[in-house]
Amino acid sequence: MENIIDYINKNKKRYVDELIDFLKIPSISNNPENKPDMLDAAKWVENQLKGVGLENVKIYETDGHPVVYGDWLKAGKDKPTILVYGHYDVQPVDPIELWSNPPFEPVIKDNIIYARGATDDKGQLFIHIKSIEAHIKNTGKLPVNVKVLIEGEEEIGSPNLSKFLKNQSKLLASDYVVISDTSMYAPDLPSICYGLRGLAFMQIDIVGPNRDLHSGSYGGGVNNPINALAHIISKLKDDKGKILIPGFYDDVIPLSDNEREEYEKLPFDEEGFKKNLEIDEIFGEEGYSTKERISGRPTLDCNGIWGGYQGEGAKTVLPSKAGAKVSMRLVPNQQPEIIEKLFIDYVNKISPKSVKVNARALHSGKGSMTAIDTPAVKAAKVALQKGFNVEPVFMREGGSIPIVNSFKEILGADAILLGFGLADENAHSPDEHYDLSNFHRGILSIAYYLTELENLEKYK
């Protein structure tokens, strides 16, 4: 192990240089113009997997962006098999004018690298590739069987990956899926994520009169789609943050007393939280702490809203149309299909008959949980402790990685979520960045993890 750790320390700079190359590729999955870049990114990952000594490396076509796969399976049948998952696609860059540097021209300042995808997820997935390299280059082998699966459609909800998992279930068969695409609870606090939220993403479209009207000639006599929309939205949640859709909470597993005690133990600076966001008051579901609200409880939020005149000055118009995007983060055990139906039925029920309302589901994903006494989780705790010299904490994440549930349902594999990002690294927003000290300590931790997994028996 000593040689491996030495190697990681000695190659620190080259690892970062390679990451810079990766970050230069504008692999934005939702933009058709970036399709060639998606292929470039897939090929870049393919070359990396080959270069570090993985075998059977191949780019697999899908109906969307390609998937990259590689493995090393010579550890023997008696050793566990892990599947490392990550995504090479990134979010769009807009609003581009708010970036301090161009998003695909990485810049390092104070050991922090700035670029789109730095923390989500290129920097984090690269940790695994470099840990694998350190093992293979020093010992000629890996302690366990490793499969690597890097996809290009996570940021658009992984629309083609479940099919790939089903079609390739033999190729991908594994005991655990190991993922670094979440955050550490706090700087210098290595974290094991044991829960991800699910998601139900909805759209409401409202049509009133067949054309925009003069609000003087018609106002007061025709319902206004924006007013109707506001009326509907105001009935989705009460002023204490409780969601009002009947049946919404039916399948929610309540936080146990024990879990709430654990939540309580995690450090949280409420004043700092408010200051950082420049808000005067925190807000959320009554009876729960902020920590619980943002990861252990379900939510409902409008993500976008439109309608009417939005330009300079005034325009006395009664618009024909209005609409909104609404998403609900779900906790494990809530079924997105049921929630979608409850949402649609409720919106239809509270909609005034004076406008036409169409509520529909755009996409969804289930949440997931991993038991913290799972042997591979216990081994992860030891590995993170070695990599950071700090005792790790357990946490739930408010975000979603919908494919994680499919790994369990299709491959029967539990997810071990070892996040090396930080919540305030601007994922999905301008000036996304990544702390390179976590990149380095992540590589050390995963190198230790591969070794700990070799003796999984001792954690059973």
Active site residues: 89, 154
**Distance (Å) of CA 89 to CA 58, 385, 427:** 17, 30, 13
CB of 119 to Zn ion, least distance (A): 8
* Chain mean position to CA 246: 28
Minimum CB distance to Zn ion smaller for 379 or for 422 = 422
The rounded distance, in Å, linking the Cα atoms of 416 and 174 is 12
Interaction mask 311-340, Zn ion, x per CB under 5 A: ------------------------------
**Distance (Å) of CA 141 to CA 126, 281, 372:** 19, 54, 29
Give the angle subtended at the CA of 115 by the CAs of 114 and 120, to the nearest 5°: 105
Site for ligand BES in 109-128 (CB under 6 A): 120-121
DSSP code at position 189: B
Size of the site for ligand BES (CB under 6 A): 15
Q: Does 365 bind ligand BES (CB under 6 A)?
A: yes
Q: Which residue lies nearest ligand BES, judged by its C-beta?
A: 399
Is the distance from CB of 388 to CB of 441 less than 8 angstroms?
Answer: yes
Which of the listed partners (Zn ion, ligand BES, none) does 365 bind, with a CB threshold of 5 to 8 Å by partner kind?
Answer: ligand BES
Q: Does 299 bind ligand BES (CB under 6 A)?
A: no
Strands across the sheet containing 112-114: 107-109, 112-114, 433-435
CB of 71 to ligand BES, least distance (A): 24
* Secondary structure class of 196 (helix, strand, coil): strand
Q: Does 151 bind ligand BES (CB under 6 A)?
A: no
Listed in order, strand segments (DSSP E) in 2-76 are: 55-60, 67-72
The rounded distance, in Å, linking the Cα atoms of 404 and 162 is 10
Interaction mask 152-181, ligand BES, x per CB under 6 A: --xx-x-----------------------x
Minimum CB distance to ligand BES smaller for 128 or for 135 = 128
Q: Does 298 bind ligand BES (CB under 6 A)?
A: no
Q: Which of 18, 89, 175, 181 touches Zn ion by CB under 5 A?
A: 181
* Secondary structure class of 240 (helix, strand, coil): coil
Give the residue from 455, 220, 399 showing the smallest Cα distance to 316: 220
Q: Does 183 bind ligand BES (CB under 6 A)?
A: yes
Q: Which one of 69-77, 113-121, 184-192, 248-256 is the stretch in contact with Zn ion (CB under 5 A)?
A: 113-121
Q: Does 121 bind Zn ion (CB under 5 A)?
A: yes
Which of the listed partners (Zn ion, ligand BES, none) does 397 bind, with a CB threshold of 5 to 8 Å by partner kind?
Answer: ligand BES
- For the chain, the residue count is 460
Q: Does 182 bind ligand BES (CB under 6 A)?
A: yes
User: 373: cis peptide before it, omega within 30°?
Assistant: no
Contact positions toward ligand BES, by CB under 6 A?
120-121, 154-155, 157, 181-183, 199, 365, 397, 399-402
